[in-house]
Amino acid sequence: MNEARRTSAALEVRGLDVYYGHSHALQGVDLTLESGVFSVVGRNGMGKTTLCKAIMGLVGVSGGSIRVRGEDVTRRPPAQIARLGVGYVPQGRRLWRSLSVDEHLRLAGGLRSGAWTVERIYDTFPRLAERKDHGGGQLSGGEQQMLAISRALLTNPHLLIMDEPTEGLAPVIVAQVEEMLLRLGEDSDMSVLVIEQNIGVATAISRNVAIMVNGRVHRIIDSARLAADRELQQRLLGVGIHAELEPDVDISTAAAGPKPAPRRDGPVRIYISNPALPTRWSQPVPIARIEAAARTRSTEVTRLEETTRRRREPVAAQAAGPPVVLVVGTLDTKGQELRFIRDIIAATGLRTRLVDVSTSGKHSSCDVSAQEIALNHGRGGAAVFGADRGAAVTAMADAFANWLRRQGNVAGVISAGGSGAASLVAPGMRTLPVGMPKLIISSIASGDVGPYVGPADITMMYSVTDVQGLNAISRAVLANGANALAGMVKARLDERATSAREAGGLPSVGITMFGVTTPAVQKIAADLHDSFECLVFHATGVGGRSMEKLVESGQLAGVIDLTTTEICDLLMGGVFPATEDRFGAIIRSRLPFVGSVGALDMVNFGAPDTIPERYRGRKFYVHNPQVTLMRTTAEENERMGRWIAERLNQMDGPVRFFLPEGGVSALDARGQPFWDPDADAALFRALERDVRQTGNRQLIRTPKNINDPDFAAAIVSAFRTLFGRTGARRRLAR
């Protein structure tokens, strides 16, 4: 029975001892990785790299055991461990300077068969495809790291060990590596052990983090707590206070001369994790001794804001405790208004947190300071608190979005301010699931709010007067906004409680539709009605983005992307364009995907006099006085076929893509204005030529028009088959 339980863990390390001569490098290390991604952090010289090498058999083990998926690999040769499904990305990359990128990959491929192939590597890392003939010594640091990771992935490991994967990389590359680690963590067939010095990366990719001190796993801690608690980082990891995080200095006027010493409520304590210089045979330093050795300073050292210095709330209260409403804004200029909103929401009985996202660097009393938010940017406070206001706002918006993604108990978010405040909070709000209440009170809400709302369900309320002080009008508007958000939050919490009691509901499927594909969608939705909740999205640019937003939020169990017409407008300049990330959510989520080429026969424009001059003389159809449709040509269809094929090739989930030979819309049927079999044939040929078909990714031709009932029946049958095969029924994120 015990042996059966062991096999479920990707990695089990028990009592591991490693010596270098007389130096005791690893001292009884215990570590278990069940699945997903697990981070190990610690200062230099604490034994992290030795742990990696011991697992891979690259250093001798004096005692203890190492099991990979239940199989004992202790003291086995490295080659044998690799064949058992353990991949390794060593610190420093360790590439051959004389071998090309392609030679590196071909050399690594074939050790173990699986989903990772050289072709998939090139799809995942297009930069490597561009540099495939360059030698290892000709690559940048980021490209070398991509190649080192790719080389390990090609062994199709069950367990991937990565030693300092972001070391020496530029912040933008670090962000890409972090995103890739998150995607790898979603692969149920692979677990990842990451040794990392970058606290931001380590806590972002892993639910829990192991801290190594003097050759031992000192403790395993919740990543949200470690990321948020700077004092805890100082105590456990020796992370110092940096000048870039000084909250009491007005950065915009810092050059004007010396400032008076900031007021403090008590002395600043500076912790060092090892009061005595550690050695390989040192015992872990007790926390009590660290506390006793802490130094206090009363001048020349600025502190983090009071709320980041004082004792934190328990992790359960922050990440998994009672629901909390975030009141977010620039407290240096809108503090009075935001506290007014907070007090109204708190009076309804809801728990609140006041979050500062100002970029001035001024001190403000709140629950989450701007300095703490800034820590979530890839370059920390240095990127946020700068002289260039535009760059500072952009950086703070990124930092707030990163911080918000890591909060597990948010029930709603509200903000108030002008265009700057909306720009700061809207990107973060857009990362939240559809259905979670989000409200911005702003003077810009009566204009074009598309850039702020995007595909999310953000509510924007016009402030009437500027959000600048409290008066009879602003009090009424701000109170309405606060009470509206409180009502939305309470109603949603009540609904969740009811849903939990009722245990479940039908899984949701997203379907894209246009007027010219309506009969097909109606038939599909009717046939799926008993088994699925069908959510139909109007393919007007934002419709496709909204559907993919729900995919990213985990609220869809599958997608029937029947109407991909937004790609026409993207490539040909129409008024309902997709973004370049169309299909991106499907690629990342690997949901069951059934697609087609619905309405790719038309580009959408406004009134006839708005059509670009370059298209004069083309075939048009006036849908109504404000909408004019243009028939796509064979050349344009081939271009769209190549574009779609490139995205389909990146989908690792189950894919069925249908090609209706009888026409792609109601207007593209025999006898209708856009009937053009040659143009459609160019589209189909491009797809069949460029899509790499596999057992999981298939193109299917049918002689019917897209609106024919038999075509709809084929779509339904394929989706039911894929959904059943993948076991895609999942709990919806509410």
Q: 238-249 pLDDT, tens per residue?
A: 544 333 333 333
The residue with greater pLDDT, 149 or 137, is: 149
Confidence (pLDDT) at 731: 34
The residue with greater pLDDT, 172 or 622, is: 622
217, β-bridge pairs? 212
- Checking if the pLDDT of 503 tops 50, the result is no
Q: What b/e sequence results for 268-298 when a residue is b if at least 16 CB atoms lie within 10 Å of its CB, and e otherwise?
A: beebebbeeebebeeebbeeeebeeebeeee
Q: What b/e sequence results for 325-337 when a residue is b if at least 16 CB atoms lie within 10 Å of its CB, and e otherwise?
A: bbbbbbbbbbbeb
According to DSSP H, which parts of 56-133 are helical?
Answer: 78-83, 101-108, 118-124, 126-130
Longest distance between any two alpha carbons in the chain, whole Å: 88
Confidence (pLDDT) at 582: 94
- Checking if the pLDDT of 478 tops 90, the result is yes
**Residue 6 confidence class, pLDDT cut points 50, 70, 90:** very low
- Checking if the pLDDT of 483 tops 50, the result is yes
Confidence (pLDDT) at 132: 84
The length of the chain is: 734
Confidence (pLDDT) at 573: 92
% pLDDT > 90, the chain: 30
- Checking if the pLDDT of 302 tops 70, the result is no
- Checking if the pLDDT of 276 tops 50, the result is yes
Confidence (pLDDT) at 279: 55
Q: Is the pTM of this model over 0.85?
A: no
Residues 91-102: what's their mean pLDDT? 82
The residue with greater pLDDT, 530 or 707, is: 707
- Checking if the pLDDT of 267 tops 50, the result is no
In contact, 93 and 147? CB cutoff 8 Å: yes
- Checking if the pLDDT of 708 tops 60, the result is yes
Confidence (pLDDT) at 514: 92
- Checking if the pLDDT of 390 tops 90, the result is no
Residues whose CB falls within 8 Å of the CB of residue 555, separated by 6 or more in sequence, listed in order: 433, 434, 435, 508, 732, 733
Of 172-176, 263-267, 363-367, 590-594, the poorest mean pLDDT is in 263-267
Confidence (pLDDT) at 103: 86
Confidence (pLDDT) at 439: 94
As a whole number of angstroms, the distance between CA 352 and CA 357 comes to 16
In contact, 108 and 154? CB cutoff 8 Å: yes
Confidence (pLDDT) at 187: 62
Of 151-155, 171-175, 363-367, 390-394, the poorest mean pLDDT is in 171-175
- Checking if the pLDDT of 81 tops 50, the result is yes
Residue whose C-alpha is closest to residue 618's, from 632, 604, 599, 600: 632
Confidence (pLDDT) at 724: 67
656, β-bridge pairs? 594, 698
pLDDT digits (tens, 9 = 90+) for 638-664: 999 999 999 999 998 899 999 999 999
pLDDT digits (tens, 9 = 90+) for 182-226: 777 666 678 889 888 778 788 888 888 888 888 888 888 888 777
Residues 446-474: what's their mean pLDDT? 84
As a whole number of angstroms, the distance between CA 289 and CA 271 comes to 11
Confidence (pLDDT) at 734: 34
What's the DSSP call for residue 368? B
In angstroms, the Cα distances linking 238 to 99, 199, 245, 367 are: 40, 12, 16, 25
% pLDDT > 70, the chain: 82
Residues whose CB falls within 8 Å of the CB of residue 657, separated by 6 or more in sequence, listed in order: 594, 595, 596, 648, 687, 691, 698, 699, 700
- Checking if the pLDDT of 301 tops 70, the result is no
Supply the mean pLDDT for the chain.
80
